[in-house]
Structure 1
C-alpha cells in the first residue's frame, strides 16, 4: 500500500498464523460461521440492516491478497461465499467493506483504479430499496489522497471515519473524519490526539451514535485494538480489547448497541478468523444472531 512504511507493513501483514491464541477467561471466542471458515484469512465483516447478509474480506494466509466476498443466511445456513455484484475482477485488490447504518449503501476500499494495485481509495456503492446494487463511485479529494485510505465506516449522522497515511498527520498513519455539506462537498479533518499519536493509527470503527470508537493502532511491535469513549472534552481512551498480544488484530465491527465487537486475528491452525468479544455483558448477547429463520435479533 502506497504511503505506509515498509517496517509498518512488515508488522501489520506478517505471517502471524504461527502464533497460538493466548488463553484467558476474558479471551475473545471464534465467531466465523463453519460454512465460511477456511484455511485462508477471513476478516472485516459487515452486516446488512436485517443481519442476514454478510460482506467480508478474504485474504491469503499472509494477509496480502485481498478480495470481497458475500454470503446470505438462507434456509438456516450461510450460502457459499461469492464476490458481490459490485466487486472488481481480479487482479484488483479490494477490502474493508462497511454497510451504512441506514442500509442504503456500502463503503469499501479498492485499488481498481491503480494498475499497480497499490493506491487504496474509498469507494461507495448505493443499493436500491429492491436490493439492487448500483455502480460504485470513487469518492473525491479531500477524502481520497495519493496515499492509502483504509476501513471507511459511517455513523448515523453520516460522518465517515477512515485511516490514511497522507502527509501532515501526527505519525505514520492517522484517523480522519469526513463530513459532506448540504451542497455535497466533502470536508476532512484529522481526529487529533489522543486517538492519533506519533505511532501508526490506521483503522477506526465508530458506533452508530458516534460515541464509541475502536482503534487499530501499532504502538509497539504489533497492532492492537484500543477502545475510546466520547466526552465533552473530546475522546478518552478506556483501555485495550483483551485480544492475543502475539498477533495483530484487524477489521473491528461494533454491534448496533456497542455492547459487542467482532474483529479478526490469526490462529494456530486456520490462518485468520473472525472473533467475538463482549464489551458490555448486559448488551448484545445474541449478536450476531445465528443464521436461522426469523427476524434478526439485534
Structure 2
C-alpha cells in the first residue's frame, strides 16, 4: 500500500544491470522537446496530461519538488492560451492525493487515481459528465479493479477494458500491468498482461494507442524508471526500445497521440521542476498534436 511518491522512491532504488535495446531509429529530431505551456509551468512537477476529444480541455496533476503531494488540475483553451490551472469541482479535500487523469474516448468520463477512500493507497475513481456539461460525483471502482494496494494510471480502452498498473500480488514482478474486463453481470475480471511487457522487473504505468498496436510502458530496469515502446505483432508484443529521454532522471505519465506516433511524458527539467516533454516515436507523426490552443 505504498503511496506513489514512496513507490517511485522504492523503484528507483533497485539495482539491476539490465540495458535497454539500442534499436531506436535515432536522429536529432528524436530528442524530446519541452512542451509545457507557459501558463501551466511552475517550479513544481507537472505530469500525466490528458486532453478532451475536442482538444479544448486539459487535465493533469501537479506534484511538489519531491514528487509528492500531488493534486488534479484542469485548464481550458481560452483566448488563445491555456487558462491558469484550477482544481476541478470534484477534487477531494486538500491533503488527499489525486493523480493520473484520463479521458474516455467520448470525453464523457474521466478516470483518475485518488486516496480519498482511506487516505493511504491510490485507487481508481471515475467521474461522469452530465448532459449539461457539468461533472457529477466521483465513484470509486469496485474490487477487484481496486485492491488494498496502489493502482496507477487508469486508461479506458475502446472495448471497455481498463488498463492500469498496480503493486498488488499476482503478477510476475513486484509491480505489474493489469487489464480490468467488465462482465455481463456488472462485475469485473482482472488479469495481468502477459510477458512482455510484464516481467520480473517493475512495470507500473502503460499507455496504449487507439488502434491497440503501440504500447508505452514505464518500467524500472536499473536505478531509475524509463519509458519503453512495444509493438503489437499478431497476439504478441515486441519491444522496440527505450524512448531516448534523459538518462539521469525518471520518466512518468505517458500519453500517446491518436496515431500512436507521438508521445507526451513528464521528466525533471532542472533541480526544481518537472515538465511535459514531447517526442516523435516514428516518422510521419501528426504535427497538429498535441492540440494547439489558438
Q: How do 1:269-288 residues align onto structure 2 when only pairs under 5 Å count?
A: 270-288=272-290
- For residues 3 and 111 of structure 1, the distance between their equivalents in structure 2, rounded to whole angstroms, comes to 9
The TM-score, its normalising length taken from structure 2, stands at 0.91
Gaps of 5+ in 2: 14-26
Q: CA deviation at 1:138?
A: 0.4
Contact persistence 2:50–2:58 (CA under 8 A) = yes
The TM-score, its normalising length taken from structure 1, stands at 0.89
1:2 aligned partner: 2
Q: CA deviation at 1:46?
A: 0.3
Of 181, 184, 187, the residue aligned with 2:186 is: 184
Query: Does 2:254 match 1:252?
Result: yes
1:77 aligned partner: 81
Number of equivalenced pairs? 281
Structural RMSD (CA) = 2.0
Gaps of 5+ in 1: 14-22, 293-298
Q: CA deviation at 1:5?
A: 11
Contact persistence 1:262–1:276 (CA under 8 A) = yes
- For residues 182 and 60 of structure 2, the distance between their equivalents in structure 1, rounded to whole angstroms, comes to 26
- For residues 106 and 41 of structure 1, the distance between their equivalents in structure 2, rounded to whole angstroms, comes to 21
- For residues 242 and 50 of structure 1, the distance between their equivalents in structure 2, rounded to whole angstroms, comes to 30
Contact persistence 1:156–1:210 (CA under 8 A) = no
Distance change >3 Å, CA 183–CA 162, structure 1 → 2: same
Contact persistence 1:4–1:173 (CA under 8 A) = no
Aligned residue for 2:30, secondary structure, equals: coil
Contact persistence 2:113–2:125 (CA under 8 A) = yes
Contact persistence 1:4–1:172 (CA under 8 A) = no
2:244 aligned partner: 242
Q: CA deviation at 1:270?
A: 4.8
Q: CA deviation at 1:51?
A: 0.6
Distance change >3 Å, CA 132–CA 3, structure 1 → 2: closer
Q: CA deviation at 1:76?
A: 0.5
1:17 aligned partner: none
- For residues 99 and 145 of structure 1, the distance between their equivalents in structure 2, rounded to whole angstroms, comes to 22
Distance change >3 Å, CA 8–CA 134, structure 1 → 2: closer
- For residues 276 and 283 of structure 1, the distance between their equivalents in structure 2, rounded to whole angstroms, comes to 12
Contact persistence 2:5–2:68 (CA under 8 A) = no
Aligned residue for 1:256, secondary structure, equals: coil
Q: CA deviation at 1:237?
A: 1.1
Q: CA deviation at 1:281?
A: 2.5
Q: How do 1:45-64 residues align onto structure 2 when only pairs under 5 Å count?
A: 45-64=49-68
Aligned residue for 2:215, secondary structure, equals: strand
